[in-house]
Amino acid sequence: MRHQKRGRILGRSSGHRKALFRNLIGDLFKYGQIETTEAKAKAIRSDAEKMISIAKRGRSGRISEVHARRLIRARLNDPEMVTLVYDDLAGRFANRPGGYTRIFKMGFRKGDGAPMALIELVD
């Protein structure tokens, strides 16, 4: 039974998995959409949406701006991404209550048959 076991392991160690998620989320914010496997897309979706929600709370004054920026910085590799998330994305989704990402299934990868998906930020 899988009681109280959450998250996706993806066949990696914890450090490797954490680095993978940081890189995928950074690329999603940078390019607006990425093509990856369905399991990876589903794994990063909640973390990406939480970061946008933290930025929105910082901009609205519910938490301090410094605290919000530090929380986002702790979850991303690139310091420039912090300003992108905080300034651009939080303003873009200011009136949206949630659901900032969308996942499209794209079929199967030719080499190994892995189910592929496109994850993008909603307009």
Low-confidence winner among 5-14, 20-29, 42-51 (lowest mean pLDDT):
5-14
pLDDT of residue 119 exceeding 90:
yes
Contacts for 69 with CB less than 8 Å, ≥ 6 apart: 58, 82, 86
Check residue 5 and give its pLDDT. Answer: 86
* Residues in contact with 99: Cβ distance below 8 Å, sequence separation at least 6, in sequence order: 49, 122
Residues 84-101: tens digit of each pLDDT: 999 999 999 999 999 999
Among left, alpha and beta (phi > 0; psi -120 to 50; other), residue 99 is: left
Q: Report how far apart, in Å, the C-alpha atoms of 53 and of each of 3, 22, 105 are.
A: 28, 17, 25
Is residue 2 situated within a structural domain? Answer: no
Q: What is the pLDDT of residue 4?
A: 86
Give the mean model confidence (pLDDT) for residues 55-78: 94
Q: Is the pLDDT of residue 7 over 90?
A: no
Domain for residue 7, yes or no? no
Domains contained in the chain, number: 1
56 or 6: which carries more pLDDT confidence? Answer: 56
In a domain, 4, yes or no: no
Judged by DSSP in three states, 97 sits in coil
CATH classification of the domain holding 60: 3.90.1030.10
> Would you say residue 6 lies in a domain?
no
Q: Which domain holds residue 77?
A: 14-121
Q: What's the rounded mean pLDDT across residues 29-50?
A: 97
Backbone angles phi, psi at 103, to 5 degrees: -115, 125
